[in-house]
């Protein structure tokens, strides 16, 4: 079991693999039963989430800098640290199994080192180690970075985003939520499934009116097999529902999901489009992801997914009454679901992403009919990817653009959300709404534009 977790961490580190996509393949190849699979996922994903904290602890326990430790031995140490400090594995078993793993996966010279370091780690509790690590911090933000294992730039970015919403005091709660594995949420596609018929499998979602939080494995939900119910975060559901609830002032006859991969939002849009007798199109720049979108849409209706750069959409000549721009972003809003993603992105990625987001917005705006609505969505609360884009769009398009009250629209969809209507854009939060940190802005092109 531990060898599978080791392989996952190795490939995430060396091959830039996605843990949530790689794990099912590794488990399937090894023919692991469900109980062992749960242990492996908790071990691997928990280690990934807590990597920074464990690295600091390993440095203290070994009196060595992380960069001087062989990669294979470090993975064994990280897995061992999580078993000792983050799981209910008996200490002797965690150490013995880690030593055995080191004998197989690491160099012979590292076996004794692994044994000594893990024994040193086992001498203190998690809280005691956190206290020692936090003494190394030079600021309150760095303390939170170490304790909750978030890169410092992400802590600062999340703090700034929360401050912008008057929620600065909840930063630590957000970091804790990022480290708490999210429950599996599903969406009952309108016209194809009813969330009330799924109550044997979970509880009604607190955010989305078509959402359900599962209390059974997804494989036990029959409607998931036929494609009428989809695994989807409730924040993503709300993003689509908000766009489709916004008032258009043009014939509402043609919709587009511009960056549709992997297809969850597109499937929800298509289901509602069929109810309203509206034409729907989906586009994706990546051929691989376009295939995933096609697979997502096929159970609902025969819709061909186009493959192309979304920045060229207006050049094709088609015009739409509603466009969803789920823009490529840092993904900082989904850290609880993607344990390695906090280590994958860098602050230096932001300028390039911001330019891409603006370019896609320009193309979407040009393809939008006067009176139509554009939904700009990111799974990130980073100010450069959210409110900065909104300010830029309002400045760029002046009197031709109208920012619709997204929070008012969402509160009408679900009154219990209680979103602050003094903000015209919506920012959802894991620690407040139980969703990914989705940002939603709705723009209408004025008819005289």
pLDDT in tens, 86-109: 999 999 999 999 999 999 999 999
Instruction: Decide if pLDDT at 225 tops 80.
Output: yes
Going by pLDDT thresholds of 50, 70 and 90, the confidence category of residue 21 is confident
Residues 224 and 324 in one domain: no
Cis check: omega of the bond before 362, within 30 degrees of 0 = no
Write the CATH number for 83.
Answer: 1.10.940.10
Number of domains in the chain: 4
Residues 157 and 189 in one domain: no
Cα–Cα distance for residue pair 256/247, rounded to 1 Å: 16
Residues 281 and 419 in one domain: yes
Instruction: Decide if pLDDT at 343 tops 60.
Output: yes
Residues 76 and 200 in one domain: no
Residues 243 and 389 in one domain: yes
Q: Nearest to residue 292, comparing CAs of 265, 263, 259, 267?
A: 263
Residues 196 and 262 in one domain: no
Residues 62 and 83 in one domain: yes
Cα–Cα distance for residue pair 173/294, rounded to 1 Å: 38
Q: Which of 134, 259, 329, 379 is catalytic?
A: 379
Q: Which domain holds residue 384?
A: 234-445
Domain boundary among 231, 264, 296: 231
Cα–Cα distance for residue pair 294/298, rounded to 1 Å: 6
**pTM (2 decimals)?**
0.95
Instruction: Decide if pLDDT at 301 tops 70.
Output: yes
Residues 167 and 55 in one domain: no
Task: Dihedral sign for Cα 171, 173, 174, 175, please.
Answer: positive
Residues 223 and 150 in one domain: no
Known catalytic residue: 379? yes
Residues 283 and 339 in one domain: yes
Domain boundary among 216, 231, 246: 231
The predicted structure's pLDDT at residue 385: 98
Cα–Cα distance for residue pair 186/264, rounded to 1 Å: 10
The predicted structure's pLDDT at residue 440: 98
Write the CATH number for 276.
Answer: 3.40.50.150
The predicted structure's pLDDT at residue 449: 52
Cα–Cα distance for residue pair 121/53, rounded to 1 Å: 12
Residues 196 and 222 in one domain: yes
């Amino acid at each position: 079991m531990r060898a599978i977790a080791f392989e996952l961490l190795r490939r995430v580190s060396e091959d830039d693999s996605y843990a949530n996509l790689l794990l099912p393949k590794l488990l399937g190849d090894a023919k692991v039963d469900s109980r062992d699979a749960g242990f492996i996922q908790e071990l691997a994903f928990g280690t990934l989430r807590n990597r920074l904290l464990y690295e600091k602890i390993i440095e203290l326990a070994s009196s060595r800098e992380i960069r001087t430790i062989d990669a294979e031995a470090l993975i064994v140490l990280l897995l061992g640290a999580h078993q000792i400090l983050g799981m209910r594995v008996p200490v002797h078993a965690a150490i013995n199994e880690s030593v055995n793993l080191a004998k197989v996966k690491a160099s012979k010279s590292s076996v004794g080192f692994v044994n000594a370091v893990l024994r040193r780690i086992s001498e203190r509790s998690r809280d005691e180690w956190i206290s020692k690590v936090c003494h190394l911090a030079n600021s309150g933000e760095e303390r939170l970075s170490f304790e909750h294992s978030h890169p410092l730039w992400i802590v600062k970015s999340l703090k700034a985003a929360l401050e912008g919403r008057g929620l600065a005091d909840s930063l630590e709660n957000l970091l804790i939520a990022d480290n708490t594995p999210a429950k599996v949420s599903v969406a009952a596609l309108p016209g194809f499934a009813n969330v009330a018929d799924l109550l044997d499998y979970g509880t009604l979602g607190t955010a989305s009116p078509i959402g359900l939080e599962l209390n059974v494995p997804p494989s036990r939900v029959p409607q998931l097999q036929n494609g009428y119910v989809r695994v989807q975060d409730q924040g993503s559901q709300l993003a689509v529902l908000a766009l489709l609830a916004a008032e258009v002032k043009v014939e509402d006859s043609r919709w587009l999901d511009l960056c549709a991969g992997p297809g969850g939002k597109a499937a929800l849009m298509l289901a509602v489009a069929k109810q309203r007798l509206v034409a729907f199109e989906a586009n994706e720049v990546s051929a691989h992801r376009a295939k995933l979108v096609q697979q997502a849409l096929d159970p609902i209706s025969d819709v061909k997914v186009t493959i192309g750069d979304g920045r060229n959409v207006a050049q094709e000549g088609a015009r739409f009454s509603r466009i969803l721009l789920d823009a490529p972003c840092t993904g900082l809003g989904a850290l609880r679901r993607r344990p390695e993603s906090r280590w994958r992105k860098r602050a230096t990625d932001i300028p390039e992403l911001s330019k891409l987001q603006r370019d896609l917005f320009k193309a979407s705006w040009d393809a939008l009919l006067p009176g139509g609505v554009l939904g700009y969505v990111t799974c990130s609360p980073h100010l450069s990817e959210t409110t900065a884009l909104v300010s830029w769009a309002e400045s760029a398009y002046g009197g031709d653009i109208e920012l619709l009250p997204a929070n008012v629209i969402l509160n009408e969809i679900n009154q219990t959300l209680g979103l602050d209507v003094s903000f015209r854009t919506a920012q959802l939060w894991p620690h407040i709404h139980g969703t990914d940190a989705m940002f939603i802005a709705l723009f209408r092109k004025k008819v005289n534009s």
